[in-house]
Amino acid sequence: MRGRLLESSAVLGLDACGHYFFREGGSRDDGLYGALYMLGILGDERTLAELRQSVEPIFSTPELRLPSSVLNFYVVRDRLHTAFPGAEESNIDGTRLMLEDGVILARESSTEAVVSLRIEGFSSRGYSELVTRCLASLPEANNILLGQIGELAALVPSVS
Element (H, E) at 41: helix 31-42
Picking from 33, 31, 117, the residue whose alpha carbon sits closest to that of residue 75 is 117
pLDDT of residue 58: 78
Measured in whole angstroms, how far is the alpha carbon of residue 134 from the centre of its chain? Answer: 14
- How far apart (Å, rounded) are the C-alpha atoms in residues 19 and 49? 21
Tell me the β-bridge partners of 42. Answer: none
Q: Where are the domains of the chain?
A: 2-53, 59-155
Topology (CATH) of 59-155: TATA-Binding Protein (3.30.310)
Q: What is the pLDDT of residues 79-120, one digit of tens each?
A: 999 999 999 999 988 999 999 999 999 999 989 999 999 999
pTM of the entire structure? 0.68
Nearest CA-CA partner of 148 in 125, 123, 114: 114
Q: How many residues does the chain have?
A: 160
Asked if 22 and 28 touch (Cβ cutoff 8 Å), the reply is yes
Please check whether residue 138 is in contact with residue 132, taking contact to mean a CB–CB distance below 8 angstroms. Answer: no
Question: Alpha carbon of 141 to those of 38, 92, 159: distances in Å?
Answer: 40, 24, 12
pLDDT single digits (tens) 31-73: 777 777 777 877 777 787 887 788 777 788 989 999 999 999 9
Helix (H, G, I), strand (E, B) or coil at 69: coil
Helices (H) then strands (E): counts for the chain:
6, 9
